[in-house]
Amino acid sequence: MKGIRDPRLLPIAEKVEAGGRLSFQEGLVLYETQDLPTLMRLANRVRERKHGHKTYFVHSIRVSQTNICYVGCTFCAFQRRFGEEGAWDWEVEEVVAWVRERYQPGLTEIHLTAGHHPKRPFTYYLDLVRALKASFPGVQVKAWTAAEIHHFSKIARLPYREVLQALKEAGLDAMPGGGAEIFAERVRRRIARAKVSAEGWLSVHRTAHQLGIPTNATMLYGHIETLEERLDHMDRLRRLQDETGGFMSFIPLAFQPDGNPLARELGKREHTTGLDDLRNLAVARLYLDNIPHIKGYWATLTPELAQVSLDWGVTDIDGTLIEERIVHMAGSPTPEGLSKEALAQIILAAGRIPVERDALYREVRVWDRVGA
């Protein structure tokens, strides 16, 4: 590769060209280098080697059956207590009715994440999956983070394997990747003290993969973590993926600085910069050589930056969402949903090929144009 200005990137470029795996120290060089054009080209090289120009999105609806939660993560603006203004807590029938009101033809994914409700029994969650599968045949249910599975394990007094097996038998198709935050204990103690531990999060996903439930993985960045802690997070994911192969995508989530205790404590009002977001995505594409997709989540990046990220290693920009609430209650300035046509146009305008997918990354439609 010509035009490399940072000599530290020369051996890394040779390794990337040869399909080799980067070391932890080489990952840190990617975070430190000011040679951003080379970083972009390397990430794009891997992206196109894996998927060519294809860029994926899903027609999905986001559902949170409650925002009542006892965990108290300091970065969260979503959680409420019983009786607090803005709290909601829906019965199974109310969830089904909410989805039915917003259902659109061609919907392939119902994405469920919510708070850790202290009183709902585990049977409620099984009933919810069964009801959604019965009411919307053919739509896949991607539900509950590893943190929520850990919560179910506690209230049901069952090991992760039995909880996940029961959910799978009820109709669970896949799991989202939330609740990972940053694995480093120093950070976790400060931002998510009462949430599942890093080891617990990884154990839930390991068990899901062993049961044939594919999952995603996230990383919440842009608050108090160091670059070494970001890379440590990716390193633990890479090792688990070597073991199980069950991760479909990795989704860096930029910290949203409104309405949460951590932002007030840090005096933080600014969102992450576009360059930090793009660098983070490129490092992920180069370091996580065994995870198929890096997702540029438009709801936190903005649609415009998600479009640019397609040159920085990204092959998925998530989906239509339909009334996403969690990141928007924390201050995301983006729309709460985008149409399929809008997503396809974003991808086409970047010179890539829009591919509508389902929750399991099976191709539904390749878009060659938008409109009549």
pLDDT at residue 59 in the model: 95
Q: Is 17 annotated as a binding residue?
A: no
pLDDT in tens, 295-333: 999 988 999 999 999 999 999 999 998 776 666 665 566
CA dist., res. 349 & res. 371, Å (int): 14
336 is in an annotated binding site: no
Task: Look up the domain containing 102 and give its range.
Answer: 27-366
Domain of 141, CATH number, reads 3.20.20.70
What single-letter DSSP state applies at residue 367? -
181 is in an annotated binding site: yes
3-state secondary structure of 356: strand
- pLDDT of the residue at 333: 64
Residue 161 lies in a domain: yes
Q: Is residue 9 part of a domain?
A: no
Q: Specify whether the CB–CB gap between 348 and 357 falls below 8 A.
A: no
**Is the Cβ–Cβ distance between 295 and 318 less than 8 Å?**
yes
Task: Give pLDDT, residue 102.
Answer: 92
Q: At which residue do the structure tokens 């997702």 appear?
A: 295
The answer on whether 122 is annotated among ligand-binding residues is no
- How confident is the chain (372 residues) per 10-residue block, as mean pLDDT? 92 97 98 97 98 97 94 88 93 97 94 94 98 97 97 97 98 96 95 94 98 98 96 98 98 88 86 95 98 94 95 96 68 75 95 97 92 60
Alpha-carbon 10 to chain mean position: 31
- Which residue reads 């040779």 in tokens? 14
Contact 79, 330 (CB under 8 A): no
Burial of 228 (C-beta count, 10 Å sphere; 0-12/13-18/19+): middle
Whole-number pLDDT of residue 231: 98
Does residue 8 form part of some domain?
no
Which amino acid is it at 45?
R
Does residue 295 form part of some domain? Answer: yes
DSSP 8-state assignment for residue 221: E
What pTM was estimated for this model as a whole? 0.94
Is residue 15 one of the residues assigned to a domain?
no
What pLDDT, on a 0 to 100 scale, did the predictor assign at position 270? 84
pLDDT for position 258: 80
- CA 257-217-190 angle, to 5 degrees, is 45
Neighbours of 65 (CB within 10 A): 23
Give me the percent of the chain exceeding a pLDDT of 70.
97
- Give the DSSP H/E element, type plus range, for residue 101: helix 92-102
Residue 3 lies in a domain: no
Count of domains observed in the chain: 1
Roughly what angle, to the nearest 10 degrees, separates helices 160-170 and 122-135?
30
Does 138 reside within a domain?
Answer: yes
Query: What digits encode the pLDDT tens for the residues 225-270?
Result: 999 999 999 999 999 999 999 999 999 999 988 878 888 888 888 8
H-type helices in 216-360, by residue range?
Answer: 227-244, 261-266, 274-287, 298-301, 303-308, 326-329, 340-349
* 75 in a known ligand binding site: yes
Q: Residue 372: inside a domain, yes or no?
A: no
246 touches 214 (CB < 8 A): yes
